[in-house]
Each structure stands twice: as structure tokens, then as C-alpha cells.
Amino acid sequence: MASYLLQSYLDDSRRINPEKPALVDEHGSMSYDRLYVEANRLARCLASGGVKRQDRVVICMKRSALSVMAMLGVLKADAIYVPVDAKAPLERLLKVIADSAPSALICDDQLPPLLSGSEQGLQSLSLLVVLGPGKGDRLLFPANEGEKAACPLFEAIAPVYGQELCTFSAEPPSYSNIDTDAAYILYTSGSTGSPKGVVISHLNVMNYMQWAVDCFGIVSEDRVLGTAPFHFDMSTFDIYTALKAGATLCIAPERTLLFPGKLLDLMEQEAVTIWKGVSSLLMYLSSTGSIKPERIPSLDRVLFGGEVLPTRHLMNWMKVFPSKRFYNVYGPTEATGVSVYYPVERAPASVDETVPIGRACANTEVLLLTEENRPAQIGETGELCLRGSGLSSGYWNDEEKTARAFVPNPFGISRQDRIYRTGDLARTREDGMLVYQGRKDFQVKFMGYRIEMFEVEKAILSLENIHQAAVLLCTCGQSELSELVAFIEGPQAADADAILQGLGRSLPSYMVPKQIIPLERIPLTDRGKTDRAALQLYYQRHMQSMTKEEIG
């Protein structure tokens, strides 16, 4: 039994309590025993299809129990899973496939028809596995030679369907990986205009899980709510704390996130005890007046992160639920998950009070470095840099980006001692607590996602008749809600519908600006750079004038 690999969590929890529900989704529940059996079969299916140690396997499915089973099956095959957004534009999906060069693709029955015509970009694939319900008895792939000719990719790939997995042995395969081998690759928004893959090892995640399960007291009786997309690093906590503790992961259907009442109903129905939610979702539940003292009685631990939660909304949560425990958590994808955390022992006294991000987690060290690369003093702002076993080995297939972000520790004694420069700014209070101060560059966190503004701007500039563009995250007046706003210069700038339609073909929905503001000329600083401060001021005046017009 390889206790130093992530799949050992499943193997151990299944041995202790095989009939306990491991996963719950809208379709039902999956016991630890069934999850173990199906993951073993998928692993053997992948191996028989030519998947080898450390090969990449792309998983493109809606968030469900089957998605988690697929991840574990890939790990049991000694391979690396690459989760992607099933709703992402085809262009972005193809970029990830081209970059990761997977030997297999696991998907549901919605994706394959969309790939027809894109075969040239999928040449690395040797195996296709289709999981989930089909459409009656009709296969989605060509059944005769005439139909095969219309879909060249699948002439060489005979798809394996979920129901065929039962033909493979349920015995666990032997593992060859070691803990420093990659477990998965998460693609994030890249500053070059293309997504970049962060490589995360078994050791990275197990270091994180050892701390998280102990720190938050997660046990087998717990029921963990999963609201984060599986291509987003917040889901690592959901999946692997539950598996390590032998607890139950309750996977929220995507549509419930759009309706606060339904999400709370789900928490009550599944008797959820712990939730790590993106701050914007907690803010949404608070601002809509959905949280009430009599609701979600089973929930006792709430972790929030991904972006700053406005103090007024944290105050509201703690006023409505005084007996629940709240934790502010912080950590970039490049450091696997949570690197710094702060137990909120008391509600803030006023909306002006800043809630710290806290102290470093176990086996993690935080360095605050000034522009001169010296340690920042108490109260002095510095760039937040991280070191420890949670640190990624770098970006997939990109040594240059890796070398820029993962640099030698200026105070280390060996070349192997690296730190990750997050680009986030922070300061240390007198009590040792870290306080987040914003971004060093123009990367932002929005709806829990990390977005490089340059990637959005590049997509806009790829459209016809656009001369210049600047994208900012702007706050909408007193509501404290933020949205992406694009300021655009050029003949096509006034045609917002055409711009949004064009962006929808190349960007995921969360990266598409909600407002398009045409400008005759984008303001520049005296150094010839976009004057973002002037744009923020313009936006505030623009919103005020619109409000006056509505009142009038």
C-alpha cells in the first residue's frame, strides 16, 4: 500500500468503512467501496489503452461523483489528471490539450460531438473514455464506415463507454509513482495571453491535507460541501480532506450556486458540517439576505478565501451565526491550496477593520520581501513569498515562466531551496499576523478565479476594428460587488454585443467583462502606459451619471 500517494486516502478509508458514502451528488451517492472498485477499473482501462506513468489525462466533465472517480482512476494508473472547465470555449480547451499533450481524454457524452473538426489538435490522444448517461441506446460515435469518414479522429480511437468498465478487473493496480511525481495540472489564466499549467505533486497535496485535517478537526462523521469547480484549486481541499478523513463529500450542482435559497436548502438536506467557499459566494448570500439564524444548523466551520471578503459581510455572517467558526484562508495555486490562515475569534468591531489573512500553515514559511529583496519590517509592505513542501515544481512545459516565479531563496544555503513570488503584497502586524495589501501587478481574483487582465485584453484586441483596450475590476458603488469592465477604443467599441459574442468564443464566462465602455481615447500616463487610476475614476463618474438618469 503506497501511503505516500494520494490514492492511498481512498484505499485506507475504504478498508475502514467500505459502505460509508464517499460522494453525494444530484444523481445519488457512491460508497467508498464502489468508488474504490470503479477507480481501479478505470485505472486498468487507461493502462490497457496505452496510458503510462506520468502521462497526462484530460478530464472534461460536469462536476459530479464521476469526476472524482475519474481523478482517482487516473492517479491509480500512475498518470497525471488535467481537469478542465466543461463550459469553456472550445478554443481554450484545445489550447490546454495542445499544451498538456494528453494520451487520454475522459469526458461525458456532451463533449465528443463538439470536437469534430478539431482532430488536428488532438493527435496526442490514444484513448477516449466516455462516462455518464448516454442518449438511449444510440452511441455518439460513428457505427459504420461512412460515418467514420466524417469524423477522422475516431477512426483510430474506439471510445470506451462507462458501462464497459465492468469488463476490467476491480483489483487495485500496483503503483510505480513516488510522492514527488505529479498528481495533477491546473491551468490558470496566463500573463502571456494563454493559460499556464501549474504542476502539483502527491507530496504537495499530502503536505496540505495533513495540516488541513488536523487544523480543522475533520473526522469521518463530517460532511464536506463542495462548491468549487474541479479545475479550480479550492476543490483540492473539498476532495482530499474528505477522502483522508473518511468523510462524505457533498457535491453541489452548479445550478444551485445561482440561487442562494437552493444552496442553503442543499446544506440542510445533506447536513453539511464544513464548507470552504469562495468569498464572493459568501458575500452574495449575505447581500441577498438569505442567511438567517434558523438556517443551516449543522454547518459549524466556514472557510472563506479566493479573494477578499468585505468586512461588512463577515460581520453579518458572524452576527447571524455566532456559534459557527470562521476562518480566513489564503494561498495561490502554485502553493497547492491554503498557505496562510486566520481563525476569526471575534466579529470585527466596524466595517473599517481589516481582517488579517493570519499566519503560515504548518510546514510553510512566509517571507515578505521589499523591492530591494530584503525582509520587510513590522508594518512595512512587501511581496508575499512562500516556501515549503506545498510548493509546486513549476509550470508545465514552461521553464522560463517557472524560473521567473520560483526563484532561489535569497537566504537559503542551497540552490534547491526555492521560494514562490506570489505578486501579492502584505504587511505584518505587531502581533505577527499578516494583512493582505493587494496585488503587485494587474492580476486579480474574481469569483474565486485568478485572472490576468492581459489575457482578457489580448482577446479583445484580437477582434476586428479594436484599437486599444484596458480591463479593470471595478466596484459597483455602495453594493461592494465587483465586475470586470472593459474600456475600448476603436470603430467597433460601441458594438458591445458583437464584442461580448466574440469574447465568448475564446474566454470562459467568468473572464468576459460585464460592461463594455467605449472611449474615444484610452488615457495614458506620462510614461505612455494605460492610466488605470484615471479609468477607475471615469468608471465611478460613469456609474453615478447612470444612476442619476435612472432616478430622473
CATH number of the structural domain spanning residue 44:
3.40.50.980
Question: Bridge partners of 366?
Answer: 386
In this structure, are strands 434-439 and 515-519 parallel, antiparallel, or unpaired?
unpaired
Q: Mean pLDDT, to the nearest integer, of 114-127?
A: 75
- 463 plus 424 within the same structural domain: no
Burial class (CB in 10 A: 0-12, 13-18, 19+), 536: middle
Residues 6+ apart with CB under 8 A from 526: none
Tens of pLDDT, residue by residue over 50-75, are 999 999 999 999 999 999 999 999 99
Residue 550 has pLDDT above 60, yes or no: no
Question: Has residue 21 been placed in a domain?
Answer: no
Task: Please state the separation of Cα 539 from the chain's center in Å.
Answer: 29
Residue 344: what pLDDT? 98
Range of weakest confidence among 33-42, 238-247, 425-434, 525-534: 525-534
Question: Has residue 5 been placed in a domain?
Answer: no
Which is it for the CA torsion 258, 264, 265, 266, positive or negative? positive
Residue 16 has pLDDT above 90, yes or no: yes
- 468 plus 417 within the same structural domain: no
DSSP run (H or E) holding 257: none
Q: Which of 176, 198, 220 is the last residue of a domain?
A: 198
Question: Has residue 205 been placed in a domain?
Answer: no
Range of weakest confidence among 273-287, 406-420, 514-528: 514-528
Q: What is the CA radius of gyration of the chain?
A: 24
Residue 480 has pLDDT above 70, yes or no: no
- 412 plus 272 within the same structural domain: yes
Residue 478 has pLDDT above 70, yes or no: no
* Residue 155: pLDDT band with limits 50, 70, 90: low
Residue 156: what pLDDT? 53
CB burial readout 255-269, b (16+ within 10 A) else e: ebbeebebbbebbee
Residues 6+ apart with CB under 8 A from 185: 56, 80, 81, 82, 100, 197, 198, 199, 200, 396
Mean pLDDT taken over the chain: 88
Closest CA to 137 of 163, 166, 108: 163
- 311 plus 423 within the same structural domain: yes
Residue 136 has pLDDT above 60, yes or no: no
Closest CA to 363 of 210, 199, 180: 210
DSSP run (H or E) holding 437: strand 434-439
Q: Is 551 helix (H, G, I), strand (E, B) or coil?
A: helix
Residues 6+ apart with CB under 8 A from 57: 46, 51, 74, 77, 79, 80, 81, 82, 102, 103, 104, 105, 106
Residue 269 has pLDDT above 90, yes or no: yes
- 293 plus 395 within the same structural domain: yes
CA neighbours closer than 13 Å in the CB half-sphere of residue 416: 1
- 406 plus 505 within the same structural domain: no
CB contact at 8 A, 61 and 105: no
Question: Has residue 119 been placed in a domain?
Answer: yes
Assign 3-state DSSP to the chain and report helix, strand, coil percentages, each to 5.
35, 25, 40
Which string of DSSP letters, residue by residue, matches 344-363? E-S--SSTTPPPP-BEEPTT
Q: Which of 410, 439, 468 is the last residue of a domain?
A: 439
Residue 251 has pLDDT above 90, yes or no: yes
Q: Which of 198, 228, 244 is the last residue of a domain?
A: 198
The amino acid at 321: F
Residue 526: what pLDDT? 45
- 458 plus 404 within the same structural domain: no
* Residue 105: count of CB within 10 angstroms of its CB: 26
| Phi/psi at 297 (5° precision) | -65, -30
CB contact at 8 A, 119 and 153: yes
- 459 plus 415 within the same structural domain: no
Question: Has residue 216 been placed in a domain?
Answer: no
Q: Say which residue, 312 or 203, is predicted with more confidence.
A: 203
Closest CA to 80 of 160, 169, 187: 187
Residue 143 has pLDDT above 70, yes or no: no
Best mean pLDDT range from 142-146, 188-192, 348-352: 348-352
Residue 483: what pLDDT? 86
Residue 135: what pLDDT? 38
Domain count of the chain?
3
Separation CA 326–CA 304 (nearest Å):
8
* Residue 477: pLDDT band with limits 50, 70, 90: low
Question: Has residue 482 been placed in a domain?
Answer: yes
- 410 plus 478 within the same structural domain: no
- 474 plus 539 within the same structural domain: yes
CA of 49: how far to CAs of 103, 397, 519, in Å?
Answer: 9, 24, 54
- 473 plus 410 within the same structural domain: no
Q: Say which residue, 380 or 473, is predicted with more confidence.
A: 380
Question: Has residue 244 been placed in a domain?
Answer: no
- 56 plus 171 within the same structural domain: yes
Residue 410 has pLDDT above 90, yes or no: yes
Find the domain containing 161 and state its range: 31-198
Question: Has residue 144 been placed in a domain?
Answer: yes
E-only strand ranges, 291-396: 301-305, 325-330, 340-344, 359-360, 364-369, 382-388, 394-395
* Residue 435: pLDDT band with limits 50, 70, 90: very high
Q: CATH no. for residue 489?
A: 3.30.300.30
* Residue 134: pLDDT band with limits 50, 70, 90: very low
Q: CATH no. for residue 351?
A: 3.40.50.12780
